[in-house]
């Protein structure tokens, strides 16, 4: 099974400052048909996870443009250009494979300093 | 409004069975792949199972294979997870999720329910 490793696991950030989270895969996530389905989800305190980014860099509907995703192969990054108080929570990367199982990273907890 | 509402969770003893349900509304349920994902208390997200739109194709995590069965009733817009031989390690919040994959294009797991809690304890 593919293992996703996130870093850091804890991320204290001052409001207005940028933040980035890394997600490294144990093997390439490139599908045979040329797509890479690496997503980012945010679980705010007390809430269900919500989709932020799909397919490495495509923002989901309604997601602010301060969120961006990048990467390829085995290395991926979620960036927040200017962190706001409402961004607190746990961020997960997830890979959607051609053949299951799907896997999530361990999660990165973003908190406001 | 697009919505997924889970039900059926509860407290059971090890070895017992439970069936989770997920009621979908606000979208054409029969067009979408669906998943179950679980989250143990204080832990991260773990994928459990997936089913294709017409119910003919399923997949499971190794940890539940042979014990859990995913199914759907498209006429009722319902997703199910039948769980047998429950173990203490199955204790978790179980989420029902819509997978937006359609016509060969993937847009992420875009709709999540609020979850239903399963507790396996003697």
Q: Do B47 and A104 touch (CB under 8 A)?
A: yes
**Helices first, then strands: H and E counts in chain A:** 0, 11
Q: How far apart are CA A30 and CA A38, in angstroms?
A: 9
pLDDT tens figures, B100-116 = 988 888 899 999 999 99
Q: What pLDDT, on a 0 to 100 scale, did the predictor assign at position A25? A: 97
- What value, to the nearest 5°, has the Cα angle with vertex B8 and ends B4 and B14? 135
Q: What pLDDT, on a 0 to 100 scale, did the predictor assign at position B40? A: 98
Query: How far B106 CA sits from the closest chain A CA (Å)?
Result: 7
Query: Is any Cβ of chain A less than 8 angstroms from the Cβ of B32?
Result: no
| Chain A residues whose beta carbon lies within 8 Å of the beta carbon of residue B46 | 104
Given a cut of 90, whether residue A15 has pLDDT beyond it is: yes
Q: What pLDDT, on a 0 to 100 scale, did the predictor assign at position A37? A: 92
Q: Based on the number of CB atoms within 10 Å of its own CB, is A5 exposed (0-12), middle (13-18) or buried (19 or more)? A: middle
Given a cut of 90, whether residue B11 has pLDDT beyond it is: yes
Q: How far apart are CA A74 and CA A62, in angstroms?
A: 27
Query: 3-class SS at B111?
Result: strand
Establish whether the linkage from the previous residue to A87 is cis, with ω within 30° of 0: no
- What value, to the nearest 5°, has the Cα angle with vertex A18 and ends A14 and A22? 115
Weakest mean pLDDT among B18-27, B85-94, B99-108: B99-108
Segment A63-83 mean pLDDT: 97
| Chain A residues whose beta carbon lies within 8 Å of the beta carbon of residue B45 | 41, 43, 49, 92, 94, 104, 107
Q: What pLDDT, on a 0 to 100 scale, did the predictor assign at position B88? A: 98
Q: What pLDDT, on a 0 to 100 scale, did the predictor assign at position A33? A: 84
Average pLDDT of chain B, as a whole number: 97
Q: What pLDDT, on a 0 to 100 scale, did the predictor assign at position B101? A: 86
Q: Which two tokens stand for residue A71?
A: 């990467």
Q: What pLDDT, on a 0 to 100 scale, did the predictor assign at position B61? A: 98
pLDDT tens figures, A85-113 = 999 999 999 999 888 999 999 999 999 99
Q: What pLDDT, on a 0 to 100 scale, did the predictor assign at position B121? A: 97
Query: How far B111 CA sits from the closest chain A CA (Å)?
Result: 7
Among B61, B62, B110, the residue with its CB nearest the CB of A51 is B110
Q: How far apart are CA B116 and CA B21, in angstroms?
A: 9
Residue % of chain B over a pLDDT of 70: 100
Q: Do B107 and A60 touch (CB under 8 A)?
A: yes
Q: What pLDDT, on a 0 to 100 scale, did the predictor assign at position B105? A: 87
Segment B38-59 mean pLDDT: 97
Query: Is any Cβ of chain B less than 8 angstroms from the Cβ of A32?
Result: no
């Amino acid at each position: 099974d593919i293992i996703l490793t996130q870093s850091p696991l804890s991320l204290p950030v001052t409001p207005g400052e940028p933040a980035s989270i890394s997600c490294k895969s144990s093997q390439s996530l490139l599908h045979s048909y040329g797509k890479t389905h690496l997503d980012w989800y945010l679980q705010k305190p007390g809430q269900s996870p919500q989709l932020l980014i799909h397919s490495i860099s495509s923002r989901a509907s309604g997601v602010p443009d301060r969120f961006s995703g990048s990467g390829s192969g085995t290395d991926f990054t979620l960036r927040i250009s200017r962190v706001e108080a409402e961004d607190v929570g746990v961020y997960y990367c997830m890979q959607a494979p051609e053949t299951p199982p799907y896997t999530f990273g361990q999660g990165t907890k973003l908190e406001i300093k | 409004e697009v919505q997924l509402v889970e039900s059926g969770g509860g407290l059971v003893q090890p070895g017992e069975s439970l069936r989770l349900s997920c009621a979908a509304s606000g979208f054409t349920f029969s067009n979408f792949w669906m998943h179950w994902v679980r989250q143990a208390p204080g832990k991260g997200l773990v994928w459990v199972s997936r089913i294709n739109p017409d119910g003919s194709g399923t997949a499971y995590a190794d940890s539940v294979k042979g014990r859990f069965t995913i199914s759907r009733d498209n006429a009722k817009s319902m997703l199910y997870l039948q769980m047998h031989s429950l173990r203490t390690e199955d204790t978790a919040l179980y989420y029902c999720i819509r997978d937006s994959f359609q016509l060969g294009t993937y847009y992420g797991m875009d709709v999540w329910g609020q979850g239903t809690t399963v507790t396996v304890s003697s």
